[in-house]
């Protein structure tokens, strides 16, 4: 609690912000930092069902990000738990971004359950899928859909929950790609889609912001070769280009449902340069200033 209050003291308040931690609620209004504020007021809970999609292709990255940032603050103002899903092609740096923010006290980080996919009671479902997608694509994607649902539904223990991927990218990018590339029979695609639609309709999956780490497939290919995850040695540049297009179609061209704002970050730089970019976007992603 002490750490949390210390952290709140440094938040710049242009708007009205509300956070809840465990049973305590705070409402903070004004234009200075919290240290200049009067004692915290009890939180009046408000709900906002507005899920506007705000990206416009003509926006520059900064225009767009400013717009997204305003929406993010409005969400935090209206709902005191905030969920961010970090998206992007294989090896674009999602885990690295999550690790970078994991020590912020107001932030809870959920790393993708890829280790579970590599060990399903002793079976490596990821490896099986790469070796024979026609045979094992359905099994892997069913399991991924389950584990992503579990990550979404885990109780939230901090004001900001930062997740690697979402149930949406598993469906719109990976499941649909298997089907479109004739590696998944139609009946399996229909069944997975029915499952997905039912989950979305009934399970109240909350996402407030997608952070899209957009990276050139050529660069991803060289990173995948370097990091050398055994299962992924079969990945081709063409596969990465197709997935890149699907992420763009979903998060930029909005060809599929995008149930939250999208913040696009160019992720083509070195880790050191990316850290500068994370700092630049920190307030937008985790909605706190700790510096």
Q: Active-site residues: which are they? A: 164
Residue 165, binding choice from Mg ion, ligand TTP, none, Cβ under 5 to 8 Å by partner class:
ligand TTP
Q: DSSP state, 35?
A: G
Say which DSSP state 34 is in.
Answer: G
Please give the Cα distance from 89 to 9 (Å, whole number): 36
Show the binding pattern over residues 86-105: x = contacts Mg ion (CB under 5 A), - = does not: --------xx----------
C-alpha 188: how far from its chain's center?
A: 26
Query: By CB under 6 A, is residue 232 in contact with ligand TTP?
Result: yes
Residue 80: CB partners within 8 Å, gap ≥ 6? 18, 19, 20, 25, 43, 45, 159
Binding residues for ligand TTP, how many (CB under 6 A)? 17
User: In terms of CB distance, is 214 or 284 closer to ligand TTP?
Assistant: 214
Asked if residue 125 binds ligand TTP (CB under 6 A), the reply is no
- Shortest spacing between CB 267 and Mg ion, in angstroms: 13
| Least spacing, CB of residue 98 vs Mg ion, in Å | 8
Q: Which stretch binds ligand TTP (CB under 6 A): 4-12, 65-73, 93-101, 153-161?
A: 93-101
Closest alpha carbon to 18 in 39, 45, 38: 45
DSSP state of 233: G
Number of residues that bind Mg ion (CB under 5 A): 2
| Interaction partner, residue 176 (Mg ion, ligand TTP, none; CB < 5-8 Å by kind) | none
Pick what 108 binds: ligand TTP, Mg ion, none; C-beta below 5 to 8 Å, kind-dependent: none
Distances (CA, A) of 162 to 119, 130, 139: 24, 28, 27
Cβ proximity to ligand TTP: between 19 and 221 the closer is: 221
Binding status of residue 161 toward ligand TTP by CB under 6 A = no
Out of 73, 136, 174, 196, the only residue in the binding site for ligand TTP (CB under 6 A) is 174
48: Cβ contacts below 8 Å, ≥ 6 apart? 74, 75, 78, 79
SS3 139: helix
Strands 24-28 and 17-21: antiparallel
Q: In terms of Cα–Cα distance, which of 87, 226, 61, 57 is closest to 163?
A: 87
Q: Which residues of the chain form contacts with Mg ion (CB under 5 A)?
A: 94-95
Q: Which residues of the chain form contacts with ligand TTP (CB under 6 A)?
A: 88, 90-95, 112, 114, 126, 129, 141, 144, 165, 170, 174, 232
């Amino acid at each position: 609690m002490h750490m949390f209050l210390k952290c709140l003291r440094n938040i710049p308040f242009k708007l009205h912000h509300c956070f809840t931690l465990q049973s305590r609620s705070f409402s903070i209004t004004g234009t200075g930092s919290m240290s200049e504020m009067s004692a915290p007021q009890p939180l009046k809970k408000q709900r906002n069902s507005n899920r506007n999609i705000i990206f416009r292709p003509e926006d520059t990255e900064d225009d767009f990000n400013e717009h997204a940032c305003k929406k993010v603050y409005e969400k935090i103002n209206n709902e005191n738990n905030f969920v961010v899903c970090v998206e992007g092609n294989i090896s674009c740096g999602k885990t690295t971004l999550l690790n970078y923010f994991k020590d912020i006290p107001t932030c809870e980080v959920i790393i993708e359950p890829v280790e579970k996919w590599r060990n399903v009671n002793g079976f490596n479902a990821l490896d099986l899928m790469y070796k024979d997608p026609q045979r094992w694509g359905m099994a892997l994607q069913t399991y991924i859909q389950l584990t992503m649902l579990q990550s979404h539904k885990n109780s939230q223990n901090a004001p900001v929950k930062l997740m690697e991927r979402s149930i949406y990218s598993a469906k719109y990018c990976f499941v649909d790609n298997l089907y479109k590339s004739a590696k998944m029979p139609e009946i399996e695609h229909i069944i997975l889609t029915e499952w997905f639609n039912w989950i979305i309709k009934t399970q109240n999956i909350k996402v407030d912001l997608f952070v899209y780490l957009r990276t050139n497939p050529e660069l991803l290919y060289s990173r995948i070769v370097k990091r050398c995850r055994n299962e992924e040695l079969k990945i081709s540049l063409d596969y990465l280009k197709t997935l890149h297009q699907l992420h763009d179609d979903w998060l930029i061209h909005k060809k599929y449902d995008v149930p939250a704002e999208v913040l696009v970050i160019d992720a083509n730089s070195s880790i050191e340069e990316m850290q500068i970019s994370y700092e630049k976007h920190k307030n937008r992603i985790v909605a706190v200033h700790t510096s």
